[in-house]
Structure 1
Amino acid sequence: MKRIVSAIMMCFLMFLSACSNGASGDGDSETFKVGALFPLSGGLALLGEESYRGVELAVEEANKNGGIAGGKQIKLVKGDAVDADASQSEANRLINQENIKTIVGSYSSSISFAASEVAERNGVLYWELGSTSDTITDRQYKYIMRTNPSASFFGKTHVDFIKEVVTKKLGKELVDLKVAVAFEDSAAGPPIADAFIKFAKEEGINVDTKIGYNPASNDLSSVILNIKKAAPDVLVAISYLNDAILLARQSEELGLKVPVFLGSGGGHTMTDFKDGAGNLANGIFNVDFPQYAINREATPGMEEFIDAYKEKYGSEPRSGHSLTNYMGMKVVLEVIDKTGEVDPDKLKEEALKYTAKPGSTATGWGVEFDAKTGQNILGQAYMHQWIDGELKTVWPEAVAVEEPQISNQ
């Protein structure tokens, strides 16, 4: 009798094991499980949720179209990474309790940095779809891939725009421009500021002022007064949403007028910035991922994305972060489709073969991953400007819908 019971128990355990492994996508189930690690609550939730929505829409689209790899459905297993510590614990939970073999994320560079370390230690492939810090891929980890452009791409876009557009609009030579940089000093701001300054120096641009600040501060008057004293022609500001609004409002109160204000991703992109800053938003530039007032011929698939977003969430997209994550997740799904499984090594091998030409994706980017770093080298940041309450793409010309508006007065 004991032998019969033991045999039954052994069969039952083997059945449970097969179910668990199959849910991870090893070929024994009709479902692939993919971890999705984003800040879905807390201070970073606004753009964290917006980023996750892009991933969710890409998965729903694939599932509605019959799935991938012969009809398998994709199941997202969420992890709420409110900060770096939570990202580590959530990554461990996804890997060790949910048996996840590949994870996508994460919007925040500090979250991505911490979570990808956990993934690397466990041999799990981590796909970064939205955070920009160069250090994420500069570590040359085996199990990291990034579909979006890094901070260096943002810094170079700033410098190229100043060189090719601002100098002509202001009627000044590069060496005569006075430039200031103000940045939130968490994980995201310093890398973008450093990349900009590095490229600026290479071009002979004089960066007179560099000021970091706490993004949680409720008073940026000292930052603004220092900028006002420096009297720059160009201000590069790297901010989250609340500090971007505060910077705009207090600059108006303290009489800071800068001929060219260049935001960099984050807060200056969102419709919430326009709502919070009102008319003060008009004229402000922003280097960021693709937004929606853009040349649609250069971004095939964007119309379909916007329609799907409005149908599911009942509003226009709040930021280009959802689009960027949608595009990145589509790359992930295509790689899984070609591999037919979620084995990290096989996914990495297939990803390095994957290519897409610029102008063939909903963001307008191409795709080609660097073998050493896992960075997509064909991503690009674009220059946008708030014009009459709408964030319009103004540079480069291939994706622009309007001329940059800069007065030399």
Structure 2
Amino acid sequence: KQARELGLTTKAIIGHGAGYANFPNLEKQLGKELVSYLYNIDTAPAQNLDLEKLKPDVVPVVKEFIKRYAQKHNEPSPPAHATMGFGHAWMLLKTLDHAVQKYGSPTPDNIRKAALELEIPEGASPCGYGMKFAPPEHEYGGQNLASYPVVMQWVDQSVKVVWPAAMATAEPKIPMPAGNPLAAK
């Protein structure tokens, strides 16, 4: 609100997570005209992914989570962090299962070994991205080299994934359209 009051104009507003992850709530607080065309860079909430771009065996998992969440909370679309957390928990449970199946128990060392061995390709998780942890001697030791954020944009009261192309559901709208009160003149 202060940006508008002070006359700020811009081609785009890009945020990351936290307050930017819940576009509908932001719109209620700030108004449609200020929230339209905002960007958020974060893990993609499963309900915003194009399920056609996911591997067939993960699609029923995503649909079941969204269905159960809606039944329990009376919300047809879960908050972003609910499905993000679900996707991350799903990856952890896959890793724990691998540790138990291969090593017999989920000890810290067995979980670490399982995480380093397990490879989940892009599109085969509820997050859209894959999983492949770098070994300790790697420059990025312990990091998931197959994960990445997406760029989402709030357009016409709907979240659109605009990057990367492998997960995109729409083209980005940039610069902001002239009718937006924050659009650069």
Matching residue within 17, 20, 43 for 1:289: 43
Matching residue within 352, 355, 358 for 2:116: 352
Trace 1:67-216 onto structure 2 (pairs within 5 A): none
Structure with the greater alpha carbon radius of gyration? 1
CA positional deviation for 1:277: 1.5
* 1:329 counterpart = 2:89: yes
- Determine the C-alpha separation between the residues in 1 that align with 2:10 and 2:174: 11
SS in 1 for 2:123: coil
Give the corresponding residue for 1:378. 146
Query: CA separation of 1:407/1:345 partners in 2, compared to 1, >3 Å: closer, same or farther?
Result: closer
More helix by share: 1
Counterpart residue identity of residue 82, structure 2: S
Structure 2: stretches of 5+ with no match in the other structure: 177-184
CA positional deviation for 1:392: 1.4
SS in 1 for 2:13: strand
CA positional deviation for 1:352: 1.0
Would the aligned equivalents of 1:352 and 1:369 in 2 still touch at CA under 8 Å? Answer: yes
CA positional deviation for 1:324: 2.3
- With normalisation by structure 1, the TM-score equals 0.37
Would the aligned equivalents of 1:281 and 1:389 in 2 still touch at CA under 8 Å? Answer: no
Matching residue within 160, 163, 166 for 1:395: 163
* 1:259 counterpart = 2:14: no
SS in 2 for 1:367: coil
- With normalisation by structure 2, the TM-score equals 0.78
- Determine the C-alpha separation between the residues in 1 that align with 2:143 and 2:162: 26
- Determine the C-alpha separation between the residues in 1 that align with 2:151 and 2:112: 32
Would the aligned equivalents of 2:70 and 2:78 in 1 still touch at CA under 8 Å? Answer: yes
- Determine the C-alpha separation between the residues in 2 that align with 1:355 and 1:266: 29
* 1:317 counterpart = 2:78: yes
Offset from partner CA, 1:367-404 (integer Å, 9 cap, x none): 10112232111011111111112221122222222221
- Determine the C-alpha separation between the residues in 2 that align with 1:259 and 1:361: 34
Give the corresponding residue for 2:20. 268
CA positional deviation for 1:407: 3.3
Would the aligned equivalents of 1:298 and 1:360 in 2 still touch at CA under 8 Å? Answer: no
- Determine the C-alpha separation between the residues in 2 that align with 1:282 and 1:255: 17
Structure 1: stretches of 5+ with no match in the other structure: 1-248
Which range is displaced more, 366-375 or 298-307? 298-307
Query: CA separation of 1:374/1:407 partners in 2, compared to 1, >3 Å: closer, same or farther?
Result: closer
Calculate the aligned-residue CA RMSD, in Å.
1.8
- Determine the C-alpha separation between the residues in 2 that align with 1:268 and 1:332: 26
Query: CA separation of 1:336/1:392 partners in 2, compared to 1, >3 Å: closer, same or farther?
Result: same
- Determine the C-alpha separation between the residues in 1 that align with 2:13 and 2:170: 17
- Determine the C-alpha separation between the residues in 1 that align with 2:48 and 2:90: 22
SS in 2 for 1:251: helix
SS in 2 for 1:255: coil
Q: Percent same amino acid among aligned pairs?
A: 28
Offset from partner CA, 1:70-110 (integer Å, 9 cap, x none): xxxxxxxxxxxxxxxxxxxxxxxxxxxxxxxxxxxxxxxxx
CA positional deviation for 1:293: 2.9
Give the corresponding residue for 1:363. 127
SS in 2 for 1:385: strand
Structure number with higher relative contact order (C-alpha < 8 Å, ≥ 6 residues apart): 2
Give the corresponding residue for 2:99. 339
Report the count of equivalent residues. Answer: 160
CA positional deviation for 1:365: 0.8
More strand by share: 1
CA positional deviation for 1:308: 2.1
- Determine the C-alpha separation between the residues in 2 that align with 1:277 and 1:386: 13
- Determine the C-alpha separation between the residues in 1 that align with 2:175 and 2:87: 36
CA positional deviation for 1:313: 2.0
- Determine the C-alpha separation between the residues in 1 that align with 2:152 and 2:96: 34
